[in-house]
């Protein structure tokens, strides 16, 4: 049950990341480490440190390059102990990632970033409804051999209605108290709503990291998950 909460370790350096993990203790069992930590140095040492503490790790690196390069990057990562990795691209990119993931690493295709709204998609040249785009990308991810997708909680219910139920759905953009956009997140949902819509995992960052008491914030979210999923 506790694995359903993935804490987004979006901090400037690995020392801060370790301190946060120590503070959170057994309230968090799954961590997302992304591009900021990758560029700070010590990324793989942090990955190994978390694994040694019996934590699961989601490498949110959003690989996006020519298929051969993405395939090689996933192949380099597959034996390092991570549970999830993200890819961001077209069919051939996702196919290359899936073909090189091995037996334990799961590849998640990014559908539409939760920081994007209708106006942002217009700027990017996507002349279609957000929901339709998410469904299309999820179908293609499944066809490519990916294990799941990253999707806003706003679209998860439609994914469950129209896409194979075996597809893992990981939902960022979570706000525990209300449904108001905060910061750069525009398409957000509450913890309850994400799981009611059918999410398998939620990714929470700032509501825990920036709380006066991060451990208490994580415990509160875990209690909400237990009540919602365990009911």
Q: So which residues are the catalytic ones?
A: 62
Strands (DSSP E) found in 11-66: 30-34, 56-63
Residue 40: exposure state from Cβ atoms within 10 A (0-12, 13-18, ≥19) = middle
Q: Which residues contact 88 (CB under 8 A, 6 or more apart)?
A: 62, 63, 64, 109, 110
Dist CA 177 CA 161 (whole Å): 27
Give the residue among 215, 145, 200, 159 at the shortest CA–CA distance from 4: 200
Between helices 153-162 and 130-144, what is the axis angle to 10°? 60
68, two tokens: 């051969």
Q: Which residues contact 26 (CB under 8 A, 6 or more apart)?
A: 2
230, two tokens: 């365990």
Radius of gyration of the chain (CA): 17
Transcribe 111-165 into DSSP letters: -S-TT--HHHHHHHT--S-HHHHHHHHHHHHHHHT-SEEE--HHHHHHHHHHS-T
């Amino acid at each position: 049950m506790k694995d359903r909460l993935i804490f987004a370790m979006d901090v400037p350096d690995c020392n801060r990341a370790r301190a946060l993990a120590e503070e959170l203790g057994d309230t968090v069992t799954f961590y997302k480490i992304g591009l900021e930590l990758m560029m700070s140095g010590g990324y793989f040492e942090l990955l190994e440190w978390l694994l040694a503490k019996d934590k699961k790790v989601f490498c949110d690196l959003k690989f996006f390059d020519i298929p051969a390069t993405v395939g090689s990057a996933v192949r380099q990562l597959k034996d390092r102990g991570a549970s999830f990795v993200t890819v961001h691209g077209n069919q051939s990119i996702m196919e290359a990632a899936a073909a090189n993931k091995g037996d334990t690493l799961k590849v998640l295709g990014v559908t539409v970033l939760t920081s994007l709204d209708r106006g942002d998609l217009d700027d990017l040249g996507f002349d279609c409804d957000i929901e339709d785009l998410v469904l299309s990308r999820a179908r293609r991810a499944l066809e490519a051999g990916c294990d799941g997708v990253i999707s806003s909680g706003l679209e998860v219910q439609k994914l469950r209605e129209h896409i194979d139920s075996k597809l893992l759905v990981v939902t960022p953009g979570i706000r525990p108290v209300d449904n108001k956009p905060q910061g750069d997140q525009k398409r957000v949902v509450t913890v309850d709503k994400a799981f009611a819509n059918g999410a398998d995992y939620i990714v929470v960052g700032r509501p825990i990291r920036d709380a006066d008491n991060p451990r208490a914030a994580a415990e509160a979210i875990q209690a909400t998950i237990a009540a919602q999923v365990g009911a």
